[in-house]
Amino acid sequence: MDKISDCPQATTNFNVYTQSKEMNILHYTGMPYTTKYGGIEKWFVEFGKIAQNKNHNVYLAYTETVPDIPEIVNDYKQSNIEVIIIPEKDNNQLLSVIDKYKIDIFISHFPEPYTIPLFVAKNTKCKVFSFFHCYNYYSQLSWIKNFK
**pLDDT score of 40:** 87
Average pLDDT over residues 22-36: 90
* Mean pLDDT, all residues of the chain: 81
**pLDDT score of 125:** 95
Spatial distance between the Cα atoms of 37 and 72, rounded to a whole number of angstroms? 6
**pLDDT score of 29:** 87
**pLDDT score of 9:** 47
Q: Are 112 and 88 in contact (CB under 8 A)?
A: no
**pLDDT score of 144:** 43
pTM of the model: 0.78
**pLDDT score of 131:** 77
Average pLDDT over residues 10-34: 74
Q: Are 91 and 124 in contact (CB under 8 A)?
A: no
Average pLDDT over residues 117-124: 92
**pLDDT score of 138:** 46
CA distances from 137 to 41, 71, 128, 132 (A): 19, 28, 22, 9
**Residue closest to 72 by CA, chosen among 31, 103, 129, 22:** 31
**pLDDT score of 146:** 43
Q: Is the pLDDT of residue 72 over 90?
A: yes
Spatial distance between the Cα atoms of 69 and 112, rounded to a whole number of angstroms? 26
* Helix axis angle, 39-53 to 70-78, nearest 10°: 20
CA atoms within 13 A on the CB side of 54: 21
